[in-house]
A and B are shown apart, each in its own frame.
Chain A
Amino acid sequence: MKHAEETSLALWAGGELGPLDRWLVGRHLTRCAACRGEVEAFGGARVEAASLNALPEIRWDRLGPEMKANIRLGLSAGECVGPRTPLEQQRPLVTLRSVVAWASVAAVLVAGIWIQDPGPARGSREMSGMTGVVLEATPTGIELSEGGQRLILMHPRGSQGTLSFGAQGVMRAGYVDADSGHVTIHHVYAQ
């Protein structure tokens, strides 16, 4: 008697055979003890393989945050060194929606100025007597100041940098070293 193909028996064990092959192999198995033994052995191997499903013993309380931090860092680095959108592919600066939006903003500003009494000119923070922590970008670096004291995180020399600001008082600077290609990212939070 001709035995069934080994690969067919392997697929029979996992139930992946098509209808015709399933019928043919099933019919053969009713008459062939050797092939039934093969199917059993494939079933045993599948059970053994399934035991690999268990994950190794891992300190998720450490590994999870570490991986998340690395992912954030990777994304920030990608934004620094990622391809810039070519000028011709950029959206037009003046669109109907942007005109409407800017007009609305201007109307709100004009209304605000008109309603309020004219106050003293608000120039520098020294003039207005602003207190609290102030975070600002200067030509030399990111400056954090409070009550006359200043801390400046200098821009690295010879690096191209990009600055972005978050609404929650965060300033982010990314630099790419022109020689080595190394990426440096500064996140400064004002609290």
Chain B
Amino acid sequence: MSEAVEPALERAERQERFVSAHLRRIFGQIYRLVGNAADAQDLTQEVFIKALQREEQLRDEQKAAQWLSRIATNTSIDFLRRHGRFLHCEIEAAPEPHAESPEARLLRAEHREYLEDGLRLLSPRERAALVLRDVEGLPAEEVARQLGCSKATVRSHIANARVKFRRYMERRKR
């Protein structure tokens, strides 16, 4: 009964608070997985819509945060599977004004592109495992939870991903 009669405004405010609390984190997580700001924006929106359509899962805040991350990971993996390993070019969002010189920004963008190329050689699950473990710094157990697989499987994904990524870096250095 309480759900049915919850005022629309209160519900909207609760949803707004939830989105504000997690938007940047989830966008960042998805961006690191798909490597493209425009795709990350679309997928982030999709993740929040999916989550808010099942609000009964959001009662416990900590669990809700983990659940949201899991949806983000799975949605990103599905996206990577659908789009293969060749991703579209980055559509740069308008940069914020800052003190960095254009040369430094260009170098940083090039280095990022070089690393992104390495990640594109990995399968979606290997990429997700590497990003969650080495980029996001999550414990292996949490990575396994987010990917919905055993710890042994996730270790295998992480090891394969590191081997491929390192070989790529060595090839590019030559």
Contact = CB atoms under 8 A, between A and B. Distances in A.
Interface of A: 6-8, 10-11, 13-14, 16, 41-42, 45-46, 48-53, 55-60, 62-64, 67-68, 70-72, 74-75, 78, 82, 97-98, 164, 166-168, 170, 172
Given A6-B163, A45-B166, A63-B93, A53 B32 contact: yes
B interface majority secondary structure: helix
A82 B52 CA distance: 13
B37 A56 contact: yes
B163 to A, nearest CB: 5
A50 B8 contact: no
B149 interface: no
Which of B1, B12, B24, B45 is packed against the most chain A CB atoms within 10 Å?
B45
A114 B28 CA distance: 62
A10 B49 contact: no
B96 A58 contact: yes
Interface residues of B, number: 55
A49 B8 contact: no
Interface in B1-40: 1, 7-9, 12, 15-16, 19-20, 23-24, 27-28, 31-32, 37
B163 A97 contact: no
